[in-house]
Chains A and B, each alone.
Chain A
Amino acid sequence: MILLDRVSKVYSRTHGAVERISLHVEPREFVIIVGSSGAGKSTLLKLLTKEEKPTSGKIVVGGIDYDKLKDKDIPLLRRKIGVVFQDFKLLPNKTVFENVGFALEIVGYGNKEIQHTVPRVLEIVGLKGKEKRMPTELSGGERQRVAIARAIVRQPKILIADEPTGNLDPKHAWEVIKVLEKINQYGTTVLLTTHNQDIVNKLKRRVVTIEDGRIVSDRASGSYEDKK
């Protein structure tokens, strides 16, 4: 599903964000990427969503070779990948329903389809009944679940969650993680970055640890301490 082969991203001669990273993620896998801030986690995810171009190396996601992908086809790639951010990135002047529907709207779904799909997805993330709320009326955890609903409403094969619990208290963080697990059970490959030890330890999933732009460990069912 995701293949990175000796991928490097160098910003300047002295500063490399990621160096010769090789990673292979199978379909339906749930992979946690850990590492301190500045280790290169976010750069790695930006390479996957093609917000950044690698300096060298090969990236293939869902059968798409990034070297052969033209700039004008990047939107098509992004439609296949759902992304969730630490700061939610919801539109403040749109309701919960509209925020989720927006993802369908911009790629040309009809209103009927949107009316039909959005409630189902909101139910999956546990926000049924809050369709008409504005983002400001929601808790952080709820907002993040709206963001997740928006990310999965087009049924992507891959969901990338960049520190989705970073701004949340433990209770809400855990709610969000549970939603991600559920989505993974439905068949979506999930890539999660976090530095929340508790979450890593409880999830018992594959853990890839990045330090100074390199992968220092990759364990099938890891815990946070494993990186040492």
Chain B
Amino acid sequence: MAKPPGNHRLITFGRIIKTGVQNFVRNAWLSIAAMAVMVITLGIILFSVVASATFNNTITQITDKIDISVYLKDEVSEERREELLGDVKNLENVKSVEFISKEAALEEYRRANENNIDLLLAISQTDNPLPASLRIKPNDVNRIEEIRDYIEQPEIKELQSDETSYSSDRKEAIDKITGATTFLQQVGFVGVIVFSIISMLIIFNTIQMAIFNRRDELQIMRLLGASTSYIRGPFIVEAIVYGIISAVISVSIAASLFSIASNAFAASSLGLLDISFAYEYFNNNFVIILTLQLVAGILIGAVSSFIATRRYLKFKTSK
């Protein structure tokens, strides 16, 4: 038997892709449903990612402003203060500790009230009334209690002139955002799973129909000795084309939605959802997002087609 020429693998590969794309064009109507669901799936993935990044950004911004101020009595010695500073620094949840001297506190106060002449005048006429303080930034705002427990110990409480300030109003806001983010991530996760399964089932069906429509041709191919991958390849290519087109559509829809939303809500704030950050995040990570969408689309298409062809193309000899 005459052997095919040397580069036949390449030729075969090219033909598999060509046939797959041709079949896609031929099945265009059949594939619309498959692609529509895939666009929804990829869209949910995309919005979950962007929303999650946006919320995390909001949390970081607010978290950065959270600190604990421990006010010290004037009579606390420098050694004792240094000792306390070292101890606090060594606490697990402490990111940084900053010492604010009485003078620095006064300076800060003056700056904050520079338009209030009366107040400035009043304060300059007295001996500096502001206490020195330690400003503690926590690593994790949800575990602020650990720091509090330490500070509230009697021997440390002794050194303090005023009640510790916890900026607790900010913590409430953070808790709310964290809760919303977790909830959204969970909803997004469930949505992604559910829609991935639905799109896989629909692609599965579409490929099954395509196999059914071409059963005569497939039987002939088998009898003529076409290899398994040659018969199967075009169906997988076809589903991969669904994935690619769906990813492009999903990203295009997202791009236009973000663009419209950022123009419409540029000035106004939508509560937790920082549209301008979302738009910026989307633009800055466009290549990564597009790549991820393509990978997800190709994966969903390839896997479902792989299973469908395995199930419906009978490669085994009947026993």
Interface residues of A (CB under 8 A from B): 49-53, 71-72, 74-80, 83, 89, 91, 102-110, 113, 150, 154-157
A181 to B1, CA, bound (A): 20
Name the residue of chain B whose CB is nearest to the CB of A104: B4
A53 to B319, CA, bound (A): 5
For B222, list chain A residues within 8 Å (CB). Answer: 75, 78
Q: Among the listed stretches B8-16, B123-131, B246-254, which one makes contact with chain A, having 4 or more residues with CB under 8 Å of it?
A: B8-16
- Report B1-44 CB contacts with A as 1/0, cut-off 8 Å: 11011011101100100000000000000000000000000000
Given contacts A110-B11, A154-B2, A155-B1, 12 further A-B contacts (CB under 8 A): A50-B317, A53-B319, A71-B315, A71-B316, A77-B225, A78-B224, A104-B4, A106-B221, A106-B227, A107-B4, A107-B224, A113-B4
User: A112 → chain B, closest Cβ, in Å?
Assistant: 8
Q: Is B230 an interface residue (CB 8 A)?
A: yes
Q: Is B216 an interface residue (CB 8 A)?
A: yes
- Minimum-distance CB pairs A-B, first 10: A108-B8, A78-B225, A79-B225, A106-B226, A108-B12, A108-B4, A75-B225, A75-B227, A109-B4, A53-B317
For B5, list chain A residues within 8 Å (CB). Answer: 109-110, 113
| Contacts A105-B15, A107-B226; A155 near B2 (Cβ below 8 A) | yes
Task: Establish whether residues A109 and B318, one from each chain, have CB atoms under 8 Å apart when the complex forms.
Answer: no
For B267, list chain A residues within 8 Å (CB). Answer: none
For A53, list chain B residues within 8 Å (CB). Answer: 317-319
A33 to B312, CA, bound (A): 34
- Report B212-233 CB contacts with A as 1/0, cut-off 8 Å: 0000110111111111101000
For B12, list chain A residues within 8 Å (CB). Answer: 108
Task: Establish whether residues A150 and B224, one from each chain, have CB atoms under 8 Å apart when the complex forms.
Answer: yes
Q: Which of A75, A107, A108, A150 has the most CB of B within 10 A?
A: A108
User: Which residues in window 240-271 of B have CB below 8 A to A?
Assistant: none
User: A131 → chain B, closest Cβ, in Å?
Assistant: 19
Task: Establish whether residues A49 and B223, one from each chain, have CB atoms under 8 Å apart when the complex forms.
Answer: yes
Name the residue of chain A whose CB is nearest to the CB of B26: A93
User: A110 → chain B, closest Cβ, in Å?
Assistant: 5
Name the residue of chain B whose CB is nearest to the CB of A47: B317
Task: Establish whether residues B1 and A154, one from each chain, have CB atoms under 8 Å apart when the complex forms.
Answer: yes
| Contacts A74-B317, A75-B225; A91 near B11 (Cβ below 8 A) | no
For B8, list chain A residues within 8 Å (CB). Answer: 107-110
Q: List 12 A-B contacts (CB under 8 A).
A: A52-B318, A74-B317, A89-B216, A91-B220, A102-B220, A104-B4, A105-B15, A106-B224, A107-B227, A109-B5, A110-B5, A113-B4
For B7, list chain A residues within 8 Å (CB). Answer: 110
* Number of A-B residue pairs at CB separation under 8 A: 80
For A74, list chain B residues within 8 Å (CB). Answer: 317
Name the residue of chain B whose CB is nearest to the CB of A105: B15
Task: Establish whether residues A106 and B225, one from each chain, have CB atoms under 8 Å apart when the complex forms.
Answer: yes
User: A215 → chain B, closest Cβ, in Å?
Assistant: 23
The one of A89, A113, A156 that contacts B219, using a Cβ cutoff of 8 Å: A89
For A71, list chain B residues within 8 Å (CB). Answer: 315-317
Task: Establish whether residues B319 and A108, one from each chain, have CB atoms under 8 Å apart when the complex forms.
Answer: no
Task: Establish whether residues A78 and B15, one from each chain, have CB atoms under 8 Å apart when the complex forms.
Answer: no
For A52, list chain B residues within 8 Å (CB). Answer: 317-318
Name the residue of chain A whose CB is nearest to the CB of B12: A108
A110 to B12, CA, bound (A): 9
A80 to B1, CA, bound (A): 7
User: A70 → chain B, closest Cβ, in Å?
Assistant: 11
User: B223 → chain A, closest Cβ, in Å?
Assistant: 6
For B15, list chain A residues within 8 Å (CB). Answer: 105-106
Task: Establish whether residues B223 and A83, one from each chain, have CB atoms under 8 Å apart when the complex forms.
Answer: yes
For A77, list chain B residues within 8 Å (CB). Answer: 225
For B319, list chain A residues within 8 Å (CB). Answer: 53
A105 to B224, CA, bound (A): 10
Name the residue of chain B whose CB is nearest to the CB of A151: B224
For A79, list chain B residues within 8 Å (CB). Answer: 1, 224-225
A157 to B1, CA, bound (A): 7
A76 to B227, CA, bound (A): 8
User: B216 → chain A, closest Cβ, in Å?
Assistant: 7
For A51, list chain B residues within 8 Å (CB). Answer: 223, 317-318
For B224, list chain A residues within 8 Å (CB). Answer: 78-79, 83, 102-103, 106-107, 150
User: B234 → chain A, closest Cβ, in Å?
Assistant: 11
A71 to B228, CA, bound (A): 10
Name the residue of chain A whose CB is nearest to the CB of B217: A91
A49 to B4, CA, bound (A): 21
| Contacts A49-B223, A83-B223; A106 near B1 (Cβ below 8 A) | no
For A154, list chain B residues within 8 Å (CB). Answer: 1-2
Task: Establish whether residues A108 and B11, one from each chain, have CB atoms under 8 Å apart when the complex forms.
Answer: yes
Name the residue of chain A whose CB is nearest to the CB of B224: A103
For B230, list chain A residues within 8 Å (CB). Answer: 106
- Report B109-143 CB contacts with A as 1/0, cut-off 8 Å: 00000000000000000000000000000000000
